[in-house]
Amino acid sequence: MQMSKLFIKTLRDDPSEAEVTSHKLLLRAGFIRQLAAGIFINLPFAKRSTVKIENIIKEEIEKIGGLEMTMPVIHPADIWKESKRWYQIGGEMGRFKDRNDHDMVLAMTHEEVVAYLVRKEIRSYKQLPSLIYHIQTKWRDDPRPRAGLIRVREFVMKDSYSLDETEEGLDKQYKNHYRAYFNIAHRCDLPVIAVKSDAGMMGGNIAHEFIYLTPIGEDTLMICKKCGFSANRQIAGFFKQADEKEQVKPVEEVETPGVTTIEDLAKFLNIPESKTAKVVFKVAEIKEEEEYKDRLVMAVIRGDMEVSDTKLVNVLQARSLRPAQDEEIVEKGTVPGYASPVGLKDVMVVVDDLIPASTNLVAGANQEGYHLLNVNYDRDYKADITGDIAQARDGDSCPQCQAPLQGFRGVEIGNIFKLGTRYSDYLGCNFLDKNGKWRPIVMGSYGIGVGRMLASIVEEHNDKDGICWPISVAPFHLYLISIGDKGKEIADSVYEQLWKEGIEVLYDDRDDSPGIKFKDADLIGLPLRMTIGDRSLQKGGAELKLRREKESIIIPVDEITEKVKELKNRLEKELSQKVAEKASELVD
C-alpha cells in the first residue's frame, strides 16, 4: 500500500472527543473514524489488523474443533420470545418491525439462533459433541458508549457454541476454550487474566471473563496476590468476620434528629458503623405465577458494607433492578433515612448472610427522627431471603486464604459461559441418547470482542510518539520511507521486491518532508522502518530500524530483502517463545 494513494490523513493533535490513549492514537494514526456515538468506521489500517486478529482467533478455535459458519444479524423476535430474553432485556436490545409488522431483533448474540438451528438438525447422540462458531456484527444499544472501541454499540465478535450430551462434555469444551483464549491473547501480545464473573443475561451457572488490566477499564476485579483468587467485584465473595457475640439486649428507641446516613448515625451515637444495619431499597422485577411483577425490596446489610446489585439480582432471580423512589418507600409506611424491617409489612426483605451473626445493631425506627438500639435478626424481624449480597472492597479478606484482596480495573476482551440446558429447555433442543430417551442438549457460549482486542493492544503497546504494534497484528510489517529522487527510484523497486517475498510494506512515497514521514512512521507504529535517501545511500544503502529501538543500521541495497526477512522472523520467534512460555503456565 502506498501512502500517496490514501485519502485518509494522520492528525497532529489529540482529538477533543478522545479520552483514552487507544482512542487518541487510532484516530490520529488514521485507523478509525467515528460515525455516531459508539459506532465507528474501520479504515484500511484497522481493517488489516482486525483481519489478523480474526485469523488468530479462527486458528485457535479450529484447533479445538470449531466449525465456522455465518448466522444472520437480523433475527425474528419469536425465538427471543421463546427464550424469554425478549422480555428480560431492556433498552440495549435493538428492536424493530419489518414491513409485515413482525417483531425483529438486531443480533446481540446468537444463542437463540443456535438453539433454533440444532432443534431442527440434531436428533441423535451420534451428532454430538459439536462446536460451531462465527465472526459477526453485533448491536447492543449501550446508553454510555465511551473510550473509543472499548465501549461501543456496534461491534464485531467471535462467538462460538458448544453442543454436548452431558455436563462432562461441556466441562471439556469449556476448558478447551479457556486455554484457547489465553493462546489468542498471547499471540496478540496482550496480557490477560481470567476471573470468575456473573452470567448476566446469558444465563447458565458458571462464567469467566478474560480481562486486560488497565486503569481505563470499567470492570473492577478483586485479586488475592497470595493464593491467586480472582473474581469480578460484582460477584466476588470475601471472608466476613462477625463481631464478637454479645448478650442480646432489649430494643430501645432513641431520638436521632436529622440523622439520615450511616456515617452520621455512627458519629451521633459514638459507635462503629459495623454496629449499624444499613437498609437499601430497590424495585425488582420478580417472576410470580408465570408473570414478572415489580416488588419493593429492602436489602439489609451491615452498616460498614455496600450492597452489590449483581448479587442482589442473583439471589432474587430478578429480571431487572432499579433504585426505589422516595414515594414508593413512603407508601409502605416507612421513612427514607429511618427505615428498617422491624414491623414493616408488604416489603420483600433480603438480608446479607452476616446479619444473622451480628447482635444488637442499630436500625431505623420507621419514623422520622428515631432509630432503634439492639435490633436482632430472628427475634425482631425475619427475612424472605438470606444470602451474600455484600460488595467486596480493597482490603477485604480473601475467601480462600483470608489475605487482603486488592481491586484492579480492567477491560473485558472475552467471556465464556456454561449455559447448560437453559436454551435447550426453552426452545426444545432435544436428542435421543444411547438408551432411546429424549434429553436436552447441553450448551456453552464463548465470545471475544475483536474491536476491544484491537484497542487493548494499542493501550498496551504505545509510547510518547505513537503505537508500537506487535508483529502478529500490525497492519503491515514495514514502513518504507523514500527521500529524494534517487531514494524514490530505489525505494520503488524495493517496495515491489519485498511484497513478492511476503513482506507487507506501507510505502510512504508522498512529497512531504522527511520530518512528517518520520513522525507518521512512529505514530502508525509498524514494527520495522526503512529509510532510503541520499544520506542513507551515502552511508552504504538503506537505514533500517525496529520501531521499539532508537538505533538503526545501514543495509546494502542488495541485502535489504534478506535482512528484513531476518528481522521479521526474529520478531515472530520472540513472540512465539513468549506464547509458548505463557502456555506452559496454564493449568486446568
Q: Would you say the C-alpha torsion 263, 269, 274, 275 has a positive or negative sign?
A: negative
**Confidence band of 588 (pLDDT split at 50, 70, 90):** very low
Tell me the mean pLDDT in the region 569-575: 95
Tell me the mean pLDDT in the region 275-285: 94
Residue with more model confidence, 585 or 172: 172
How far does the chain reach from its first CA to its final CA, in angstroms? 44
Average pLDDT of the chain, as a whole number: 93
pLDDT at 200: 60
Q: Would you say the C-alpha torsion 404, 407, 413, 414 has a positive or negative sign?
A: positive
pLDDT at 203: 52
Cα–Cα distance for residue pair 88/73, rounded to 1 Å: 20
Q: Are 431 and 228 in contact (CB under 8 A)?
A: no
Res. 291: pLDDT tops 90: no
Res. 5: pLDDT tops 80: yes
Question: What are the pLDDT digits (tens) for 191-225?
Answer: 999 988 876 655 556 889 999 999 999 889 999 99
Tell me the mean pLDDT in the region 330-338: 93
Tell me the mean pLDDT in the region 536-547: 94
Buried b vs exposed e over 94-103: b needs ≥16 C-beta within 10 Å? beeeeeeeee
Nearest to 56 by CA among 180, 194, 209: 180
Cα 567 to Cα 131, 513, 522, distances in angstroms: 38, 27, 18
Backbone dihedral region for residue 432 (phi beyond 0: left; psi -120 to 50: alpha; all else: beta): beta
Cα–Cα distance for residue pair 227/16, rounded to 1 Å: 43
Three cell numbers at 518? 518520520
pLDDT at 199: 63
Res. 584: pLDDT tops 80: no
**Confidence band of 239 (pLDDT split at 50, 70, 90):** very high
Res. 391: pLDDT tops 70: yes
Nearest to 67 by CA among 130, 136, 159: 130
pLDDT at 140: 95
Q: Are strands 252-255 and 442-449 parallel, antiparallel or unpaired?
A: unpaired
Q: How many CA atoms lie within 13 A of 225 on its CB side?
A: 6
**Confidence band of 17 (pLDDT split at 50, 70, 90):** confident
Q: Are 332 and 341 in contact (CB under 8 A)?
A: no
Three cell numbers at 400? 480462600
Cα–Cα distance for residue pair 139/116, rounded to 1 Å: 20
- In the 3-class helix/strand/coil scheme, how is 413-442 assigned residue by residue? EEEEEEEECHHHHHHCCEEECCCCCEEECE
Cα–Cα distance for residue pair 326/340, rounded to 1 Å: 15
At position 365, the amino acid (one-letter code) is: A
Helix (H) or strand (E) holding 138: strand 130-139
Domains of the chain: 15-218+407-459 (3.30.930.10), 252-387 (3.90.960.10), 476-578 (3.40.50.800)
**Confidence band of 56 (pLDDT split at 50, 70, 90):** very high
Most confident among 24-28, 84-88, 577-581 (mean pLDDT): 24-28
Res. 152: pLDDT tops 50: yes
**Confidence band of 587 (pLDDT split at 50, 70, 90):** low
pLDDT at 386: 96
Cα–Cα distance for residue pair 400/545, rounded to 1 Å: 49
**Confidence band of 122 (pLDDT split at 50, 70, 90):** very high
Cα–Cα distance for residue pair 499/507, rounded to 1 Å: 11
Cα–Cα distance for residue pair 477/219, rounded to 1 Å: 33
pLDDT at 242: 85
Among the ranges given (190-204, 245-259, 283-297), the one the predictor scored with the smallest mean pLDDT: 190-204
